[in-house]
């Protein structure tokens, strides 16, 4: 069903316009916007180029390297670890299948996310806050207090740990939201830990001597078990002029690993060899990408890659990203096991507070935070 018609022009009162933007793109769509407001129009150089002949846009979609998680548990583990290492070095992304998370948990998360964004604006707005440390935060764009041009996205961000403490703060509507989202958070945390163990092994860190660090494998993994987990539910409504804007601008993720669940509609693009390539969605699988913290931890061996999101003129799109890393107060630096004379330290230590201060003080662009951590 089409949203109710609304005359949306550049001439209506500026205060009404600002108020409308702060309410988000779902609210705009529901009120029948049929022309992209100026606040969402990117400079020509930053627009997604739909012309396939453009030198910075690839002519085909990308099938990411596929990691069969079930194979990691079998006799082909070393071969799968090599594939994992190659994917992290060449693409910074891979796709996980046979991951062991029940399909019902995945479908329930997509379903309840759609129902959350299907509620009235007044219901959604109960969770709107500018406090970036809030356990639950509803908002729009990327950083609506700093963005000079808004992105065509609304989001619900949920801090997931410690779950018993934050769960009572999560949305109480729809009535089954907390239960279904908590189940999903637990399952993705377990999957993250298993993938992280494989990542550490592929780097040669897991099972290596702890002489340099004084930290055993169990202690390293324990840090991740108690680590940060942020769930971001993204809503990208149909956009009247998708060639003029983006759902999310080019960026890298701050954490160690991000697990992304897509609803089957194309939109995610990664930068590979200087070109933007659309990732083909695979239902019930997870797109996993290297975050800034893993690039730092690996001393640059694994790459945190720029990615962005296109929007669609006809189809809505939902995605659920869970960003995982070490505890917020834990410093992240290159593993001492990966530093020697041939491979000197390339990054300074950092923590979540430093990242939060950085993005709170400026408009986020590309990989600027990661670049700020480099020593050379």
Pair of tokens at residue 312 = 């669609």
pLDDT at 142: 74
The structural domains of the chain, with segments of one domain joined by +, span 61-373
Pick the CATH number of 61-373 from 2.40.160.20, 3.90.1150.10, 2.60.120.330, 2.30.29.30: 2.60.120.330
What's the pTM value of the predicted model, to 2 decimals?
A: 0.89
Note the pLDDT of residue 300: 96
Neighbouring residues of 69: CB distance < 8 A, sequence distance ≥ 6:
96, 97, 98, 99, 100, 191, 194, 195
DSSP 179-230: HHHHHHHHHHHHHHHHHHHHHHHHHT-TTS--TTT---HHHHHHHHHTS-EE
Which residue numbers in the chain have pLDDT < 50?
1-18, 209-211
pLDDT at residue number 321: 98
pLDDT score at 362: 54
pLDDT of residue 3: 43
Which tokens hold the place of 309? 């999101």
Whole-number pLDDT of residue 119? 96
Quote the radius of gyration of the chain (alpha carbons, Å): 21
What is residue 355's predicted lDDT score, i.e. its pLDDT?
76
| CB neighbour list of residue 176: distance below 8 Å, 6 or more residues apart | 112
Each residue of 266-282: pLDDT tens digit?
Answer: 999 999 988 999 999 89
**Could you tell me what percent of the chain has a pLDDT over 70?**
85
b/e sequence 22-50, b meaning 16+ C-beta within 10 Å: bbbbbbbbbeebeebbebbebeeeeebee
Distance CA 193, CA 46 (A): 36
């Amino acid at each position: 069903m089409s949203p109710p018609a609304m005359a949306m022009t550049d001439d209506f009162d500026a205060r009404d316009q600002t108020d409308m933007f702060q309410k988000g793109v779902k609210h705009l769509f529901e009120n029948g916007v049929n022309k992209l407001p100026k606040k969402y129009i990117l400079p020509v150089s930053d627009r997604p180029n739909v012309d396939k002949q453009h030198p910075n846009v690839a002519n085909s979609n990308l099938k990411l390297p596929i990691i069969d998680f079930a194979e990691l548990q079998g006799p082909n583990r070393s071969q799968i670890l090599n594939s994992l290492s190659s994917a992290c070095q060449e693409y910074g992304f891979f796709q996980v299948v046979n991951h062991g998370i029940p399909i019902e948990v995945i479908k329930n998360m997509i379903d309840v996310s759609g129902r959350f964004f299907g509620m009235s604006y007044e219901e959604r707005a109960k969770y709107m806050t500018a406090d970036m440390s809030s356990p639950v935060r509803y908002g729009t764009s990327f950083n609506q207090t700093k963005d000079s041009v808004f992105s065509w996205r609304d989001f619900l961000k949920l801090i997931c740990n410690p779950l018993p403490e934050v769960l009572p703060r999560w949305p109480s509507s729809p009535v089954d939201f907390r239960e279904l989202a908590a189940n999903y958070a637990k399952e993705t945390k377990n999957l993250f830990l298993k993938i992280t163990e494989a990542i550490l092994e592929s780097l040669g860190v897991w099972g290596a001597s702890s002489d340099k660090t004084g930290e055993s494998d169990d202690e390293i993994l324990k840090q991740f078990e108690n680590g940060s987990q942020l769930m971001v539910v993204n809503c990208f409504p149909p956009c009247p002029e998708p060639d003029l804007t983006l759902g999310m601008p080019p960026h890298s993720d701050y954490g160690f690993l991000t697990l992304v669940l897509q609803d089957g509609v194309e939109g995610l693009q990664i930068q590979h060899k200087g070109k933007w390539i659309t990732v083909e969605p695979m239902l019930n699988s997870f797109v996993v990408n290297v975050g800034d913290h893993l690039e730092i931890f690996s001393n640059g061996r694994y790459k945190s890659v720029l990615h962005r999101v296109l929007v669609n003129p006809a189809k809505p799109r939902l995605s659920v990203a869970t960003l995982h890393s070490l505890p917020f107060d834990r410093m992240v630096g290159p593993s001492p096991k990966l530093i020697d004379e041939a491979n000197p330290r390339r990054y300074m230590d950092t923590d979540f507070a430093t990242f939060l201060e950085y993005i709170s003080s400026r408009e986020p662009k590309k990989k600027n935070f990661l670049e700020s951590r480099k020593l050379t």
